[in-house]
Amino acid sequence: MREFASVAAAEAGGDAAVDRLLGLAAQGSLDREKAFYALGRTGSERAAMEIIRFLPSLQDSIIRCAALRSLATLTHHESREKDFSAQALEWNEWAKSLNKEIYNPRDWQVPLTPLNYRPH
């Protein structure tokens, strides 16, 4: 039930929900995984940037998975790298790019593309 409430609050609150979710995503929080998943439902560029900022410090593979899934939801991109450090670097490069498009979580029809994909 708490996970449903987090996701619903994220979708309804959008960018305004980011601060609260970041508090729940802090080290040691029992709701950390749920908070990272919920950040992906905000449709917020700030949420994407904060997740990218967190990536290098994420040690738990379940939390990493939640963070990467949220980035895919927000950006409709995913890394094809196997190594997590390489994925974090790719996301950091994406954050520096000028072509950062963020999607609403209901935009499910937009396909995922590789993070380093450059259309011709």
pLDDT at 24: 86
pLDDT at 86: 94
Note whether 87 and 81 are within 8 A (CB): yes
**Distance between terminal CA atoms of the chain?**
45
pLDDT digit string (tens) for the chain, length 120 residues: 566 566 666 766 788 889 999 988 988 888 899 999 999 999 999 999 999 999 999 999 999 999 999 999 999 999 999 999 999 999 999 999 888 889 887 777 778 888 875 544
Q: What is the 3 state secondary structure string of 57-114? A: HCCCHHHHHHHHHHHHHHHCEECCCCCHHHHHHHHHHHHHCCCCCCCCCCCCCCCCEE
The letter for the amino acid at 57 is S
